Amino acid sequence: HPQLTLDVQCGLMMEGVPLSAIADEVGTPCWVMSAGTLRARAQRLSGAMMQAGLSVSSHFAVKANDHLAILKILAKAGLGADVVSAGELLRARRAGIPASRIVFSGVGKTEAELRLALAEGIAQVNVESAEELEILSALAVECRREMTVLLRVNPDVDAGTHAKITTGVAGNKFGVPWDEALALYRHAAGLPGIRAAGYAMHIGSQILAAAPFRAAYARLAALVRATREAGLAVSAVDCGGGLGICYRDEGEGSPDVWAGVIRAELGDLDVRLAIEPGRWIAAPAGVLLSTVVLRKAVTGEAPFIVLDAAMNDLLRPSLYDAWHGIVPLSPRDAVAAAETATIVGPVCESGDTFAQERVLPRLERGARVAVLDTGAYGAVMSSTYNARPLAAEVLVDGGRWSVIRPRQSVEALWAGETIPDWIKHPA
Ligand code: LLP
């Protein structure tokens, strides 16, 4: 974690800012993002594509982190946006990302969402079914617009990641089956209001090996060639996202290897290439700060360390058994020798567990920790379950820092709720 340094006195620092100072002022739980890390990783990724001799347009997967400030930083670093809802589309526009740099993915875009995409004039819609194709074509004709369409194909390649984040095997809901794609593309090419430009693919997330990418892109290339042999034009290929990061000791997915595979499999096709990275850019840029509420001793077993952050803040450990590093914020947060403990949140679910029997420096009541690599699929997946307000968000940028979303108030949780009169004053 090059953005995180350890100072003997101040403890964990992000871009030179002691994280304990942020925790002091803002309180916990609190998300902290490093702008410098976002820029560096965005640059590293485009650098790798360039090095491989590729001209690739990069669309940040907004679902990974949709905060306006984060989107603005990435927009300034030259990224467009991959969105999956009207909300994400409008967020991206609000952050200043031009419509011409926005692509729209997703298996169930509503009519209203497609109308919005047409009205905004976004770059492309990645269509996932025959049904969606018909709906989009009809709407485009009605709106007197033309939309560039890429057909998302399901290559039936196992990305080898967690079942809940694998998207490119037959039988899951994403994309058009590989062997039906050409026929549907031919159909699309004849439909009014849309311009069939090529194919899109996204096989899953947290992919560390080259093999799944290679297998999927090889199938994609074969499809492009077959489509051209059938007399149809193909001018664009969207490679999706999926490059993984190192949460524990698994090693980080390499942008150079990814770029090399794209180059080898798709580089000679003479198409506009695009990628949709999310996690690789944003995850290592963020941490979640939390305070130990109490220690709960269990006779004969590892003690429970109960944090003030919970699964409603960071869902990944509960939902995917994901491993996140947990480190004390400063030397005074970890005074005693290591012990084995189970780190949990206070939410009323057994699944609200951040780390099962983890060896950590002994954490006393009041000690503060950083949960690492939470810049992607962290704050965006939060809920207010157990009436827990959304945590504050902070941005650090080269020694400066600023709250970019204050902690939600408890009152805000019920703002907008009404109690009907007939409940309040029964006749
Ligand atoms: N493009 C499409 C069409 C996607 O569905 C996704 C992610 C991406 C791009 C970006 O993938 P990335 O580069 O971030 O791997 N919540 C899960 C991850 C779900 C990913 C869903 N799709 C997690 O926390 O692991």
Confidence of residue 372 (pLDDT cuts 50, 70, 90): very high
210 and 295: one domain? no
**Which residue CA neighbors atom 16 of ligand 1 most closely?**
377
Q: Are 218 and 296 part of one and the same domain?
A: no
Given a cut of 80, is residue 164 above it in pLDDT? no
> Is the same domain home to 346 and 264?
no
- Residue, of 170 and 296, whose pLDDT is higher: 296
172 phi and psi, to 5 degrees? -95, 170
Structural domain of 48: 35-282
Q: How remote is the CA of residue 63 from the centroid of ligand 1, in Å?
A: 7
Same domain, 274 and 317: no
Nearest CA to ligand 1 atom 8: 241
* Whether residue 276 sits in one domain with residue 129: yes
pTM beyond cutoff 0.95: yes
Amino acid, single-letter form, for residue 295? R
Both 107 and 117 in a single domain? yes
Give me the percent of the chain exceeding a pLDDT of 90.
91
Instruction: Name the phi and psi angles at 196, rounded to 5.
Output: -70, 115
Residues 39 and 92 in one domain: yes
Where among 251, 282, 313 does a domain terminate? 282
Is 149 within the bounds of a domain? yes
Mark which of 233, 259, 282 sits at the end of a domain: 282
Domain end (from 282, 310, 335): 282
Q: Establish whether 278 is an annotated binding residue.
A: yes
Annotation-wise, does 177 bind a ligand?
no
pLDDT-wise least confident of 25-39, 60-74, 173-187, 327-341: 327-341
Residue 386 falls inside a structural domain: yes
Residue 377 has pLDDT above 70, yes or no: yes
Query: Mean pLDDT across the chain, nearest whole number?
Result: 95
User: What number is the average pLDDT over the span 91-100?
Assistant: 98
CA distances for 380 relative to 156, 184, 344, 408, 415, angstroms: 29, 34, 20, 14, 21
Do 398 and 351 share a structural domain? yes
CA 335 to CA 100: how far, in whole Å?
Answer: 54
Contact 10, 329 (CB under 8 A): no
Looking at the structure, tell me whether residues 12 and 39 fall in a common domain: no
316 labelled ligand-binding: yes
Q: Identify whether 41 is part of a domain.
A: yes
What is the per-residue pLDDT for 66? Answer: 98
pLDDT of 82 strictly over 80: yes
Number of domains in the chain: 2
Cross-strand pairs, 369: 290, 328
User: What's the pLDDT score for residue 427?
Assistant: 81
What CATH number corresponds to the domain at position 381? 2.40.37.10
Residue 423 lies inside a defined structural domain of this protein: no
Residues 17 and 51 in one domain: no
In DSSP notation, 332-399 reads GG--EEEEEEEEE-SSSSTT-EEEEEEEEEE--TT-EEEE-S-TTTTGGG---TTT-PPPEEEEEETT
Residue 289 CA to ligand 1 center (angstroms) comes to 24
Q: Is 10 a catalytic residue?
A: no
Do 155 and 122 fall into the same domain?
A: yes
Instruction: Specify the pLDDT at position 337.
Output: 83
With a pLDDT cut of 70, the percent of the chain lying above it is 99
Residue tagged 């993915």 (tokens): 105
ipTM topping 0.90:
yes
Q: What is the pLDDT at residue 306?
A: 98
Residue 245 domain-assigned (yes or no): yes
- Among the atoms of ligand 1, which is closest to the Cα of residue 241? 13
Which has more pLDDT, 10 or 196? Answer: 196
Rounded to the nearest whole angstrom, what is the distance from the C-alpha of residue 272 to the centroid of ligand 1?
A: 22
CATH value at residue 195:
3.20.20.10
Q: Closest by alpha carbon to 150, among 60, 55, 223?
A: 223
Decide if 44 is inside a domain: yes
**pLDDT over 70 at 414, yes or no:** yes
Residue 419 counted as domain residue: no
Q: Is the dihedral of CA 40, 46, 50, 51 positive or negative?
A: positive
The answer to whether residue 421 is domain-embedded is no
> Among the options 10, 143, 246, 348, which is catalytic?
348
Rounded to whole angstroms, the Cα distance separating 371 from 288 reads: 5
Q: Does residue 237 sit in the same domain as residue 289?
A: no
Instruction: Find the residues whose C-beta lies inside 6 A of ligand 1.
Output: 61, 64, 82, 105, 165, 202, 205-206, 240-243, 276-280, 316, 320, 377
CB 228 within 8 A of CB 221: no
Q: Which atom of ligand 1 is nearest to the CA of 242?
A: 15
Cis bond before residue 29 (omega within 30° of 0)? yes
242 is in an annotated binding site: yes
Q: Is the pLDDT of residue 165 over 70?
A: no
